[in-house]
C-alpha cells in the first residue's frame, strides 16, 4: 500500500517531473501528478520536512513512486546503469521507497543552487563533485545532511535521489496499485 503525499499534511511543493516534458526524455512519461511513497518513506519524509523547516527551508519533490512501465521507458531512453535502474532489476522508485527532491528557501520561495538540474545525467550530478560552485556544494551537503538525519540513504550519482536503506528488500509495487496513465512512444 502506498501513502499519498500532498499538502497540507506534508508541507512540501510537488512538481512530478515525469508527468511533464521537463525531464531528460523531453516527454511526458505518466500523466498522474500525484505523489506516492511507501508508508515508511512517507514517515521519514515528514521528519525531513521538519528538519528542513528548522533551517528555514522547504522541500520540492520531483519524483517518488514510479510505475515499472515508466521505469522501462526511462531505461529504453537511456540504458545507463549509472543513472537508471534496469526495470528487470527493479528501481527503488518502483518500490515506492525513493524520492527525488531539492530544497527551497522558505523566505524567498527560490530553489537553492544545487549546481545543476534534477536529472543531470553527467558527473556534475554526482554527490561530492567539485565541478560546481562552493555554494552549490554546500547546498548539496545541506540536503544530504537533512535527508541522512531523517533516516534516508543516498545514491552517489544523483544529488537529488534519496531512498530507504536496503531499498531492494521492499517488493516492487504493481503498476495497477496506482492508476497512472503511462504514455507509450
The set of catalytic residues is: 158
Kindly give, in sequence order, each residue whose CB lies less than 8 Å from that of residue 1, ignoring residues fewer than 6 positions away.
Answer: 39, 177
Name the nearest CA neighbour of 164 among 98, 65, 102, 91: 98
Residues 165, 167: Cα–Cα separation, whole Å:
5
Give the count of beta carbons closer than 10 Å to the beta carbon of residue 88. Answer: 9
Cell readout for 24 is: 531528460
133-160: b or e for each residue (b if 16 or more CB lie within 10 Å)? eeebbebbebbbebbeebbbbbbebbbb
Amino acid at each position: 500500500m502506498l501513502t499519498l503525499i500532498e499538502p497540507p499534511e506534508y508541507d512540501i511543493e510537488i512538481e512530478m517531473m515525469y508527468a511533464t516534458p521537463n525531464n531528460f526524455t523531453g516527454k511526458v512519461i505518466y500523466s498522474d501528478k500525484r505523489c506516492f511513497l511507501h508508508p515508511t518513506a512517507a514517515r521519514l519524509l515528514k521528519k525531513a520536512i521538519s528538519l528542513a523547516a528548522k533551517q528555514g527551508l522547504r522541500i520540492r519533490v520531483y519524483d517518488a513512486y514510479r510505475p515499472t512501465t515508466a521505469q522501462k521507458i526511462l531505461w529504453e531512453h537511456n540504458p545507463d546503469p549509472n543513472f537508471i535502474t534496469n526495470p528487470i532489476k527493479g528501481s527503488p522508485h518502483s518500490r515506492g521507497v525513493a524520492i527525488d527532491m531539492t530544497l527551497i528557501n522558505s523566505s524567498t520561495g527560490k530553489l537553492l543552487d544545487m549546481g545543476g538540474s534534477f536529472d543531470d545525467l553527467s558527473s556534475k550530478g554526482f554527490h561530492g563533485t567539485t565541478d560546481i560552485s562552493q555554494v552549490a556544494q554546500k547546498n548539496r551537503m545541506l540536503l544530504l545532511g537533512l535527508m541522512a538525519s531523517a533516516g534516508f540513504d543516498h545514491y552517489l550519482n544523483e544529488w537529488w535521489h534519496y531512498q530507504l536503506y536496503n531499498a531492494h528488500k521492499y517488493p516492487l509495487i504493481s503498476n495497477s496499485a496506482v492508476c497512472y496513465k503511462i504514455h507509450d512512444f
